[in-house]
Amino acid sequence: MKKLFAEFFGTFWLVFGGCGSAIFAAQIPNYGIGFTGVSLAFGLSLLTMIYALSHISGAHFNPAVSFGLWAGGKFPAKDLLPYIIAQCIGAFTAAITLYAVAIEKTGFVIDNTKAGVFATNGFGAFSPGGYSLRAAFISEFILTLFFIIIILGTGNKVANKKFAGISIGLALTLIHLISIPITNTSVNPARSLSQALLVGGEPLSQLWLFWAAPILGAITGGWIHRKIFQNY
């Protein structure tokens, strides 16, 4: 249960910090943090929770990471479902908390006809940059694949694990810098689920891609690491 609570709290912090920065701070006139600030917020949220909780649960905070570690031979299949449930509950609890804060602002409304509303992910008309379904799938697949290779590589027995959290946090920052214009960046099905459930509409109907592409990319990344890099 301690592992599941760690996954709950870690995923909560990741969504609250990353999506919260996008909702509250990204677009403020004159002093908003913009895409770069949101990218850093996601990376820092993950980095801080890795150092706080990785010794308890392994600090997955992401169903795709759990699948990737399973494919890489570092995580048992029997723990996949409990971890994913804990992650999704943590993410959705964070989304509800963000909404509870957001509705206190005068004039706040969720318009689910707009791209990226309430930090949702999307493609086509719901991509921040107008990118297609194919572009969204490719980017989410590739970025999650490399994210898993980085995670598994920094955890290698010959790697300097003291800096693993920094490497993984910076990797997530880089991923967001690349793909916020494409999909508003997922690489994390729980993060996508939490926002889409609150927003509904087309962002919810497009949610399938932000489960399929990251999980397939993660499994591929785990397999690549296991077959090519694991013995080094």
Q: Which of 145-149, 154-158, 163-167, 219-223 has the lowest mean pLDDT?
A: 154-158
* Band of pLDDT at residue 155, cut at 50, 70 and 90: confident
**Considering the chain, what is the average pLDDT of its residues?**
94
What pLDDT, on a 0 to 100 scale, did the predictor assign at position 27?
Answer: 78
pLDDT tops 80 at residue 163: yes
Average pLDDT over residues 50-55: 95
Average pLDDT over residues 8-22: 97
Please answer whether residues 210 and 133 qualify as being in contact, where contact means their C-beta atoms are separated by less than 8 angstroms: no
- The CA–CA distances, whole Å, from 42 to 15, 19, 39, 56 equal 8, 8, 5, 21
- The CA–CA distances, whole Å, from 96 to 6, 45, 89, 188 equal 19, 18, 10, 18
* Band of pLDDT at residue 31, cut at 50, 70 and 90: confident
What pLDDT, on a 0 to 100 scale, did the predictor assign at position 37?
Answer: 96
d(Cα 11, Cα 17) in Å, to the nearest integer?
A: 10
| Alpha-helix runs per DSSP H in the chain | 2-20, 34-57, 63-71, 80-102, 133-154, 164-183, 189-199, 201-205, 209-224
Residue 188: alpha-carbon gap to chain centroid: 3
What pLDDT, on a 0 to 100 scale, did the predictor assign at position 231?
Answer: 66
More confident residue, 128 or 31: 128
Number of domains in the chain: 1
Kindly state the percentage of the chain with pLDDT values over 70.
Answer: 97
Per-residue pLDDT tens for 60-89? 999 999 999 999 999 999 999 999 999 999
144: domain CATH number is: 1.20.1080.10
pLDDT tops 80 at residue 157: no
Average pLDDT over residues 27-44: 90
13 Cβ partners below 8 Å, 6+ apart?
45, 48, 49, 94
Provide the residue range defining the domain that includes 12.
2-229
What pLDDT, on a 0 to 100 scale, did the predictor assign at position 232?
Answer: 59
What pLDDT, on a 0 to 100 scale, did the predictor assign at position 30?
Answer: 74
Please answer whether residues 71 and 226 qualify as being in contact, where contact means their C-beta atoms are separated by less than 8 angstroms: yes
What pLDDT, on a 0 to 100 scale, did the predictor assign at position 43?
Answer: 97
